Amino acid sequence: MKNYRIYICFIIVATLMIVLWPKEGKFQYEYQKGRPWVYETLISPIDFPILKTEAEMLKEKEDRASETIAYYSYDPSVAAPRLESFGHKAVELKLDEDLTRELYTHLSEAYERGIVSELVADDLSDQVISVKRDKRITEMPAADVFDIERVFLVLKSDLVYDYPEMDIDSVAAQLDLRSFIVPNLFFDENTTRMVHREAVNYISPTKGMVYAGQLIVSEGEIVTSDICQILDSYKAEYKLSYGYSGSPNALLASHVLLALCVLALFFFSLYFIDRRLLTDLPKLIFLLLMLLIAFLGVVILFRVDQRLLYLFPFAVTVLFMSAFFRDEVAFAVFAVTIIPLLLIPENGVELFLINLIAGAVVLFAYSRLSRGWLQFLNAIFIFLAMALVNLAFKLGAGDLSYAIKSANFLFLGVNAILVIMLYPFVFLFEKIFGFVSYSRLWDLSDTNNKLLQQLQYKAPGTFQHSLQVANLAENAVREIGGNAMLVRVGALYHDIGKMENPMCFIENQAEGVNYHAGLTPEESARAIIRHVDDGMALARKGRLPAVVSDFIACHHGKSLTLYFYNVYCNAGGDPANKEPFTYNGQLPRTKEQVVVMMADAVEAASRTLKDYSEESISALVEQIMTNRFDDSQLAEADISIRDINSVKESFKRYLQQIYHARIAYPKRQQTTGQGA
Q: Are residues 594 and 451 in the same domain?
A: yes
Residue 463 domain-assigned (yes or no): yes
Count: domains in the chain: 4
Q: Are residues 233 and 344 in the same domain?
A: no
Q: Are residues 335 and 318 in the same domain?
A: yes
Q: Are residues 422 and 467 in the same domain?
A: no
Residue 15 domain-assigned (yes or no): no
Q: Are residues 418 and 447 in the same domain?
A: no
Q: Are residues 284 and 225 in the same domain?
A: no
Burial grade of 483 (CB within 10 A; 0-12, 13-18, 19 or more): buried
Residue 669 domain-assigned (yes or no): no
User: Does residue 675 surpass a pLDDT of 50?
Assistant: no
Q: Which of 167-181, 243-257, 622-636 has the lowest mean pLDDT?
A: 243-257
Q: Are residues 429 and 442 in the same domain?
A: no
pLDDT in tens, 605-637: 888 777 777 888 888 888 888 888 777 787 778
Question: What pLDDT is attached to residue 3?
Answer: 72
Residue 411 domain-assigned (yes or no): yes
Q: Are residues 501 and 649 in the same domain?
A: yes
User: Does residue 267 surpass a pLDDT of 90?
Assistant: yes
Residue 208 domain-assigned (yes or no): no
**Domain that residue 86 falls in:** 64-201
- Radius of gyration over every alpha carbon of the chain, rounded to an integer in angstroms: 43
Q: Which of 104-108, 230-234, 478-482, 606-610 has the lowest mean pLDDT?
A: 606-610
Q: Are residues 533 and 445 in the same domain?
A: yes
pLDDT in tens, 198-209: 776 777 788 888
Residue 664 domain-assigned (yes or no): no
- At a CB cut-off of 8 Å and minimum separation 6, what does 661 contact? 612
Question: What pLDDT is attached to residue 315?
Answer: 92
pLDDT in tens, 499-547: 888 888 888 877 777 888 888 888 888 988 899 999 899 989 988 888 8
Residue 187 domain-assigned (yes or no): yes
Give me the residues paired with residue 411 across strands.
Answer: none
User: Does residue 184 surpass a pLDDT of 50?
Assistant: yes
Q: Are residues 493 and 614 in the same domain?
A: yes
Domain boundary among 201, 230, 251: 201
Domain holding 445: CATH number?
A: 1.10.3210
Residue 670 domain-assigned (yes or no): no
Q: Are residues 454 and 362 in the same domain?
A: no
Q: Are residues 621 and 603 in the same domain?
A: yes
Measured CA to CA, the distance from residue 387 to residue 410 in angstroms comes to: 10
Question: What pLDDT is attached to residue 269?
Answer: 92
Long-range contacts of 234-238 (CB under 8 A, 24+ apart): 234/44, 234/48, 234/210, 235/27, 235/29, 236/51, 237/46, 237/48, 237/49, 238/27, 238/46, 238/48
3-class DSSP assignment, residue 136: strand
